[in-house]
Structure 1
């Protein structure tokens, strides 16, 4: 189906990455996965047409989820972003028109947030 929404899921915990990807697929999304912000940024740069960025904040490598979203918005200014984190001691650096969800979360909350951002 050519009209499916495309979500880029960025999560370094493989089991969680696979579970989230499956839930998005079940909801009708085309899913692209990355385990680091650097890999995700390359995908965003090389594959236009991502409809939603779903990213963990704490990621291995030089960039975190905050950095990724800022760079993603430089490429795609209207890209909806959903951040997830289980660690909240740092000050949020959310881009405009984004949602922050604390772990553990239910996928129904994620899909509701996506709809709230206009991605359904």
Structure 2
């Protein structure tokens, strides 16, 4: 199994069958993006966080197919949907928005992206009770 496929399955184990059939990193990231939207809307932020963490890792990859796939199939679309955008500060940092601003600008306007960055900067994680 290829490393990109194994890591994608680790990020979203409930998509294992689909990701095993994905013929490319782009096909895998299209599925991961759709799954991300579903889990965010369902409030399953731990699952969403795993996918977001995987996106960050992929953007640091030396493999151009992987970075292109995550940029085009996932990051470009992050700020599109208002209900998803409202939850992003729980799993994104303002630095992510800054780094990915140009990519998100393909599908979102500058004010939307600036508002997301501000929300990420202001967000304080809830403390976990023991």
Q: TM-score range by the shorter chain?
A: 0.3 to 0.5
Q: Which is richer in strand?
A: 1
- TM-score by length of structure 1 reads 0.34
- TM-score by length of structure 2 reads 0.32
Q: Which is richer in helix?
A: 2
